Structure 1
Amino acid sequence: RGCPRGASFSWYLYSPLRVRYPYVRGALLEPYREALRRTGDPVEAWASIVEDPEKARAYKSQRGKGGFVRASWDEVADLIAAAHVHTVKQYGPDRIAGFSPIPAMSTVSYAAGTRFLSLIGGICLSFYDWYADLPPASPMIWGEQTDV
């Protein structure tokens, strides 16, 4: 038998209230769609928004106010990829940082996250960086050998 917390987790999985589709803030998605129609290139479309102070301010000022609209998985994947490519081109790959759990938590998540970041030249933050529960540089010296 599992713990009560684990047993109740199925409520989240089967809840009619769970999020099943990607949602993006409308104040960002609408300008992105318009820019994509105009340029035909997702990276150019993203750049036209984030590099224009007025457009960037318009969508950033809506943070915390809701206004999410449903988007397709393909559209969201293109938007995320465009943001990554733009950041790497504009500022360098080391400006992309990601968190990946230690292998003991999820081998697949760890491998996928660290591999992606390593391929693009990004920075991978580990469980240890996040929680700071080991002496400085311990994982770098001894490797990620602890269990959860």
Structure 2
Amino acid sequence: SWYEYSPLRVKYPYMRGRLWRLWQQALSEAADPVAAWASIVEDPEKAKSYKQARGKGGHIRVSWQEATAMIAAQLIYTIRKYGPDRIAGFTPIPAMSMISYASGARFLSLLGG
């Protein structure tokens, strides 16, 4: 695809500023990232505050380490609470890119989904 060479493409992870601030606060209060994520999604006020920010911009650039730590905490939390079959994913059809398809399918199968 031409897009990966475009100077306008997104090159770094971005996160809603409100969610990032909640995440940083939760990490400072909990030793475990999964417990930190649980403290956000299980608190109705916190969950409502970052969900209401959807569609309003306010994204900030974060490090890859911060982004992957949050994603991992979200996945582990969901698997522990609801089971691995609650993780859904999408990979392109094999005819488009076998590497993209295989990596996504492999990741989901390793999670147990």
TM-score by length of 2: 0.92
The change in CA–CA distance for 1:68 and 1:117 in structure 2 (over 3 A counts) is same
1:92 to 72, 83, 86: 83
What's the offset of the Cα at 1:33? Answer: 0.7
Residue identity opposite 1:56 in structure 2: A
Per-residue Cα deviation, 1:69-96 (whole angstroms, up to 9, x for no partner):
1110011000001000000111111110
What's the offset of the Cα at 1:42? Answer: 1.1
Per-residue Cα deviation, 1:35-91 (whole angstroms, up to 9, x for no partner):
111112111111100010110000000000001011100110000010000001111
What's the offset of the Cα at 1:120? Answer: 0.8
Residue identity opposite 1:13 in structure 2: Y
2:5 to 10, 13, 30: 13
Higher relative contact order (CA 8 A, sep 6+): 2
Q: Does 1:59 align with 2:50?
A: yes
CA distance in 1, matches of 2:6, 2:83: 41
2:59 to 50, 63, 68: 68
Structure 1 segments, 4+ long, off by >2 Å, are none
Higher Cα Rg: structure 1 or 2? Answer: 1
Q: Does 1:24 align with 2:15?
A: yes
1:38 to 13, 29, 36: 29
What's the offset of the Cα at 1:102? Answer: 2.1
Alignment of 1:122-133 (within 5 A): 122=113
- Structure 2, unaligned stretches of length 5 or more? none
Identity of aligned residues (%): 59
1:49 alignment counterpart: 40
The change in CA–CA distance for 1:103 and 1:92 in structure 2 (over 3 A counts) is same
What's the offset of the Cα at 1:13? Answer: 2.3
1:105 alignment counterpart: 96
What secondary structure sits across from 2:89 in the alignment? strand
- Structure 1, unaligned stretches of length 5 or more? 1-5, 123-148
Kindly report the root-mean-square deviation, in angstroms, between the aligned alpha carbons of the 2 structures.
1.5
What's the offset of the Cα at 1:100? Answer: 1.3
